[in-house]
Homo-oligomer: A and B are copies of this chain.
Amino acid sequence: MSIVTEDPIVNLDVFEKYESEVRGYSRSFPTVFTKTKGYKLWDTNDNEYIDFFAGAGTLNYGHNNEAMKKLLIEYIENDFITHSLDMATEARGNFLRKFNEIILEPRQLDYKIMFPGPTGTNAVESALKLARKVKKRTNIMSFTNAFHGMTIGSLAITGNASKRAGAGIPLTNSVSMPFDQYISTQASLELIEKYLADDSSGVDLPAAIILETVQGEGGINAASKEWLQGIEKIARKFDILLIVDDIQAGCGRTGTFFSFEYAGIKPDIVTLSKSLGGYGLPMAITLFNRDLDIWEPGEHNGTFRGNNLAFIAATEALSYWENDDFSNDIDKNAQLMHDFTAKVVKEYPALNAESRGRGMMQGVACHVDGIAEEICAEAFERGLLMETSGPKDEVFKFLPPLIIDEAGLKTGFAIIEDSIEAVLEKR
């Protein structure tokens, strides 16, 4: 282990002593991780963990994917360019070409591709800027329980109150509408349409509506086809751009490359990040209809738009999408997950629970205060990484790497059942 630390002992004290109190996951998963592969991780004490967390959806292709790994090593060994801002490089050019060929063309999406900086919030900020520039309007419509990022522009369209309070300034130029099922599908659509049609509603005509088709941080709330189609229709009717933030739900998480494919809608702007980089390397893109590309050169920039290692891995990741095999595998896994959440809901009435989600982005919402967090803590003790989501952390959610196999899922499910039982017993 000499390459990581001169001295093998890095323990949690180091983090407590030097790292800011803002750290989060090192509290939820209190150990020091060292190695990983596929859907497993190991800590410095050689404990093994199954990963139902996947870097909050960043590791759809598993940890340290072999094919990507080889290409990365070869790329590095050969001294190909690593950091390039937005200069033209072979790695970037190849990604552009392949992304168009494998992802966009077959889906008849004539999108231009923008590299807005390598994180999700960079992509979201660029999408909002472009929408406002195109429509010459300042307001953005977002939804209850939305999560779009931590920089001021993205935070203004994020629902979470404590994260919003972190801004230290009022968050403006946004309006939060009820997501699908927040009241009801129909009531949400009707309210939004009424607000927009009414010249006296007090809701300024937005430049764009931004949504996640499945709200990951907000509680694994999956929007119905009907609602998504309804929102698209409203956007068209009132000349509003539709932005799908596909940072967590995209890249195959729900079974198709884009999460919105199942509803048959065509957003004007799409943001991608997290699993886009394939290997967990920082990368993000913003996609938009060709006729929206009114950016001035350099109008939005950033230092790490040329993370070529990510381009190499991201390009390799596209090979998963050359035929339907991967989608079919995801569907099978999703069915197993669905069966399991249904079973949990049925067999543990004490959780007062309901199933949530779509594809391989599922969870169980427990209407018993604090119980989901306890279950996750128990699961960690038993070797499973799993986190909660939702406004009250009421959902324990399953976000395993998409490449997980049936055995992996079942081991995870067994740990969860044990954990539930342990928690219920203690209470």
Contacts and interface: CB of A to CB of B under 8 A. Distances in A.
Most B C-beta atoms less than 10 A away, residue of A85, A149, A174: A85
Interface string A146-179: 1001111110111111111011111111111010
A138 B165 CA distance: 11
Chain A interface secondary structure, helix, strand, loop or mixed? loop
A143 interface: yes
A25 B115 CA distance: 12
A375 B92 CA distance: 27
Given A94-B5, A161-B204, A282-B307, A19 B114 contact: yes
B166 A129 contact: yes
A407 interface: no
A297 B24 contact: yes
A121 B190 CA distance: 32
A203 interface: yes
17 contacts: A22-B296, A29-B88, A30-B88, A32-B90, A33-B84, A36-B82, A58-B304, A117-B150, A118-B282, A128-B168, A146-B202, A150-B302, A170-B173, A175-B175, A183-B187, A187-B187, A191-B191
B85 A56 contact: yes
Interface string A95-129: 01101100000000000111101111110011011
A275 to B, nearest CB: 10
Contacts of A202: 142-146, 157-159, 164, 174, 176
A183 B151 CA distance: 33
A301 interface: yes
Given A144-B201, A159-B200, A303-B58, A21 B293 contact: yes
Contact of A73 (B34, B76, B153, B183): B76
Contacts of A410: none
A81 interface: yes
A133 interface: yes
Interface stretch (A7-15, A335-343, A346-354): A7-15
A389 to B, nearest CB: 10
A163 B299 contact: yes
Interface residues of A, number: 166
Nearest to A288: B20
Contacts of A71: 3
B10 A81 contact: no
Contact of A118 (B27, B119, B296): B119
A168 B119 contact: no
Given A93-B14, A119-B303, A202-B159, A69 B76 contact: yes
A234 interface: no
Nearest to A248: B303
Given A22-B114, A117-B121, A198-B144, A10 B97 contact: yes
A273 B303 contact: yes
Given A113-B18, A128-B168, A175-B175, A79 B139 contact: no
B282 A32 contact: no
Most B C-beta atoms less than 10 A away, residue of A26, A120, A288: A26
A185 interface: no
Given A20-B295, A93-B14, A151-B153, A25 B85 contact: yes
